[in-house]
Amino acid sequence: MTDLSKLEGTLGVKFKNQEVLKEALTHRSYLNEHPAWPLPQNERLEYLGDAVLELAVTERLFTRFPDFQEGRMTTLRAALVNREMLSVIAKEIDLQKFVLMSRGEAKDSKKAKDIILSNAFEALVGAVYLDLGYEVSREVVDKLVIPHLEEIVEKGLDRDPKSVLQEVIQEKLKVTPTYEVVRESGPDHQKQFEVGVYFSEELFAEGQGSSKQEAENRAARNALTKLANEAKRHD
């Protein structure tokens, strides 16, 4: 197994029990190819980490935004701990270099690997909590997750991206964004959709997803990011 000291350094922790860390990095597919591996898969730690992560983020939102009501804090938390965001955070710490999975899973689609990585990150938080306690696990969340909060608030990523984009474009261009499927790929049980978002019939951004709705949401989110980047260049 890869030396885990680099991962510990990135997290800013030192595990007392390395076996807990290794368990957090063990995807169930790995056990199919390595039945002699002495540790269980990471789904129990994932379950624990999900709760720890939610509590740590909730606590930070509660103290940082005293004027926000429950509904806004709930959407912010959802934007911070959803699968897409956690997979981004997992890649930022190179978690893919440490997760144990089967050769088949390692070659699977980007979406499938992103799911494995987001789940492994939750398991990692659970492992830190189990081995080192809540305070340390909260410090890990503060270090890796909370920094994304500013971007989420600034870009309104906690809101429905299609609604936000419609508001922005109607104000700027006096038109309503439209969405069209650009292409479809994959078998029926694993269909992937690529959707374009258009302003006055001009393609502005695209997004992919396993459903048309998911692809539309990602296209809208990509459009908002593109608009924000353009605005920064013009500042």
Of 118, 231, 116, 214, the C-alpha closest to 160 is: 214
For the chain, the average pLDDT equals: 91
**Distances from the Cα of 105 to the Cα of 110, 111, 122, 176, 229, angstroms:** 10, 11, 19, 41, 35
Task: Tell me which of 154, 179, 198 is where a domain ends.
Answer: 154
Active-site positions? 50, 122
Task: For residue 195, list its beta bridge partners.
Answer: 181, 207
Total structural domains within the chain: 2
Q: Which of 125, 154, 183 represents a domain boundary (last residue)?
A: 154
Q: What is the pLDDT of residues 60-71, one digit of tens each?
A: 999 999 999 998
14-28, 79-93, 122-136: which range is least confident on average?
79-93
Q: Say if residue 234's pLDDT is above 70.
A: no
User: Measured between alpha carbons, how far is 81 from 29 in angstroms, rounded to an integer?
Assistant: 24
Per-residue pLDDT, 109: 66
Query: Would you state the pLDDT for residue 101?
Result: 92
Does pTM surpass 0.95? Answer: no
- Residues 193, 106 within the same domain: no
Q: Residue 214's domain is classified under what CATH number?
A: 3.30.160.20
CATH number of the CATH domain containing 51? 1.10.1520.10
Express as a percent the part of the chain with pLDDT over 70: 97
Query: Once rounded to an integer, what is the mean pLDDT over residues 21-29?
Result: 96
Residues 145 and 166 in one domain: no
Per-residue pLDDT tens over the stretch 166-222: 988 998 899 999 999 999 988 887 788 999 999 999 999 999 888 999 899 889 988
Whether 50 shows a pLDDT value over 80: the answer reads: yes
- Residue 111: CA count within 13 A, CB half-sphere: 12
Q: Are residues 83 and 65 in the same domain?
A: yes
- Which of 118, 136, 154 delimits the end of a domain? 154
The reply to whether 115 and 28 lie within a common domain is: yes
Q: How confident is the model at residue 235 (pLDDT cuts 50, 70, 90)?
A: low
CA–CA separation, 77 and 55 (whole Å): 10
Residue in the structure block whose two tokens are 């730690």: 45
What residues contact 116, with CB distance under 8 A and at least 6 apart? Answer: 27, 99, 101, 105
Same domain, yes or no, for 217 and 122? Answer: no
Query: Among the listed ranges 7-16, 56-65, 138-147, 157-166, which one has the minimum average pLDDT value?
Result: 157-166
Q: Are both 22 and 125 inside the same structural domain?
A: yes
Structural domain for 36, as ranges? 5-154
pLDDT of the residue at 105 = 79
